[in-house]
Amino acid sequence: MRRRRGRPLNGWLIVDKPSGMTSTQVVGYARRVFDAQKVGHGGTLDPLATGLLPLAFGTATKTVPYVMDGTKVYRFTLRLGEARDSDDADGTPIGTSDVRPTDEQLRAVLPALTGNIMQVPPVFSALKVGGERAYDMARAGRPPELPPRPARVDRFELIDRPDADTAVFEVESGKGVYMRSLARDVALAAGTVGHITVLRRLRVGPFVEADAIMLDKLAPNDENAPASADLLCPVETALADIPALALTTDEAVLLRHGQKLGLFGLEGRIPPTDEQGTLRVMEGERVLGIGRLEDGWLKPVRIL
């Protein structure tokens, strides 16, 4: 078997993505700079967007779903009065309006776009329709009709109003919420049209801006040596915001070998969980992996 190229690195790198690059381009750059075997990302950002893009190296890719399911915080700038086909500044203008809502009118429409909502994704998105990417169909002049999808918005606030044409919002949301759709829908609900001109992601799961590193800090040194593995956060960092359950050594051995544990012996130790009953399973100070409460058992889901 041919040896896989690159170093077998494990951990997370939290990149502050610059505008103008795709998430895939950032992954490719990090793979080259670190000379890494395996790299993926924890949640796509649009090319226009900046901010947190967590990159998973090696075994950290096993924890990507838990990062993507985590809470995300965004800040975006809405340009009022002009609609674009992509719902952001990279698109082509498709309509205008002279209406400029007041701050009070904008705030009045936010409750209807908060909580569990149904959201129509942008036509320029990676969703597949009949085996084709929606953005490929849109670029070919065949924009698809995308049905509404469930989305969860926990917080939606107007935080600044620099001028009549511009409004700045901050959003805290769950998985799969499109900021471009929220911007479009705020404008429409307030009686006008609009699109995003600036979008920044401030948080992804347990990762915040203080964890992020600029891409130019990863540039090869004079010796052209790979970037240092010391820049990576431990794999288990991605699970830090999942409730923890401490196991005994014997319990950890059973779970590590794929066996489920009865909840009777765990009484008094089980913390409150999400609807799926997801737990970060601990063996002393070490993260053993992810377990799930199901049908009276603690079942192993992912062992690290």
Catalytically active residues are: 46
φ, ψ of residue 153 to 5 degrees: the values are -115, 115
| Cα–Cα distance for residue pair 179/167, rounded to 1 Å | 14
Q: What residues does 7 pair with on adjacent strands?
A: 36
Other Cβ atoms less than 10 A from the Cβ of 44: the count is 13
| Cα–Cα distance for residue pair 265/70, rounded to 1 Å | 29
Residue type, 143: P
What is the rounded radius of gyration, in angstroms, for the C-alpha atoms of the chain? Answer: 22
| Cα–Cα distance for residue pair 88/298, rounded to 1 Å | 45
Residue in this structure with the two tokens 């004079």, named with its chain if needed: 222
- What does the block give as tokens for 198? 């600036």
Residue in this structure with the two tokens 């700038």, named with its chain if needed: 77
Identify the H or E element spanning 95: strand 93-96
| Cα–Cα distance for residue pair 200/19, rounded to 1 Å | 9
| Cα–Cα distance for residue pair 79/56, rounded to 1 Å | 34
Residue pair 297/264 in contact by the 8 Å Cβ criterion? no
